[in-house]
Amino acid sequence: MSTTDLEKQPAPETHSQPSKFDKFKIKNNTYRNHFVAFLGEFFGTFMFLFIAFCIAQNANSYPTLKDSAYTADPSVFTANPSQVVMISFGFGFGLCVSIYFVLFTGGNLNPNVSLGLLLIGAINVVRFFVMVIAQIIAGIAAAATVDALYPGDIKFANAKSTAVNRSRAVFLEMFATSVLVLVVFFTAVERTINIAPLIIGLSVFVAHLILVPTTGASINIARSLGPQIIASKQGWPHYFWIYIVGPILGSLLAAAVYKILKFLNYETCTAADNVDFIDSQERLIDEAT
């Protein structure tokens, strides 16, 4: 038998042994991907909020900080700079670490980020609801876990300063949320940047520096809803709607700004500048030679 004949012979069939886990596999890739997204968003949001809630609980319970952000009257809010920075670090860098953990799902970890992605067409309606349900459940689970691990009442639920009225609080939440969502759009959607999780975490850190002394800092419905449900025995603040309406308006504002920039072909702005710069450099080189 010649070498050519050997090459023409069909390769023997190989039958791989079925895995014992095959019966648990989801045959439809769409359902499987949604399930993976659900798990990723749940674990990522739980990790983020667990870290943030623990640090916020510590900050608001620290005995040497006399001007506690949470007093006997939950409507009275006094911000100690040390507490503000500590809480801001907890939420900002807790988010950064958690996004790296679940990059395979996109790392939304925030219903308002997911809403923004839905509005610009980055995710579909089904994926949006899958993610939001996972995020809200994770927020409740994280709040319940921290409440079980720490003695006393929850001290990380949102509380608005009496110095800030409700309309101002809504606008503060709206603008801070829009900044976060726009940062996500331009670091993780328009172009993928390796340090996108760090930049997104820094935007949350800055937002908390602004909002903790004023609104208590939501910018994330899951972050506000989870602690409030677990602490419902303490009563719901009459202004809780601020933490729903403000961030939703922020997502809408961010999507509107993004669509306007896309309509105006913002990409050509810097591209044209780069081309002009390169042309000028080439002319200088030609003149020099």
DSSP 91-124: HHHHHHHHHHHTGGGT---SHHHHHHHHHTTSS-
Kindly state the helix (H) or strand (E) to which residue 223 belongs, with its residue range: helix 221-230
- CA quadruple 254, 182, 97, 128: dihedral positive or negative? positive
Which of 77, 47, 43 has the alpha carbon at shortest distance from 60? Answer: 77
- Percent of the chain residues topping a pLDDT of 90: 57
Largest CA distance in the chain: 94
| Residues whose CB is less than 8 angstroms from the CB of residue 221 and which lie 6 or more positions away in sequence, other chains included | 110, 111, 112, 136, 243, 244, 247, 248
Q: Structure pTM?
A: 0.80
Q: What is the 3-state secondary structure (H, E, C) of 137-152?
A: HHHHHHHHHHHHHCCC
- Chain segment 200-228, per-residue pLDDT in tens: 999 999 999 999 999 999 999 999 999 99
Q: What is the pLDDT of residue 126?
A: 95
Which of 173, 178, 107, 179 has the alpha carbon at shortest distance from 138? Answer: 107
**Domains, the chain, ordered by start:** 28-276 (1.20.1080.10)
Q: What separation in angstroms does the CA of 161 have from each of 73, 205, 234, 268?
A: 11, 19, 18, 44
Which of 139, 143, 147 has the alpha carbon at shortest distance from 247? Answer: 139
Phi, psi for 228 (deg, rounded to 5): -70, -35
Across the chain, what does the average pLDDT equal?
84
Higher pLDDT, 61 or 69: 61
Tokens standing for residue 192 = 């993928």
**Residue type at 107?**
G
Q: How confident is the model at residue 14 (pLDDT cuts 50, 70, 90)?
A: low
Neighbours of 246 (CB within 10 A): 26
| Residues whose CB is less than 8 angstroms from the CB of residue 97 and which lie 6 or more positions away in sequence, other chains included | 47, 48, 51, 201
What whole-number distance in Å separates Cα of residue 44 and Cα of residue 105? 9
Q: How confident is the model at residue 272 (pLDDT cuts 50, 70, 90)?
A: low
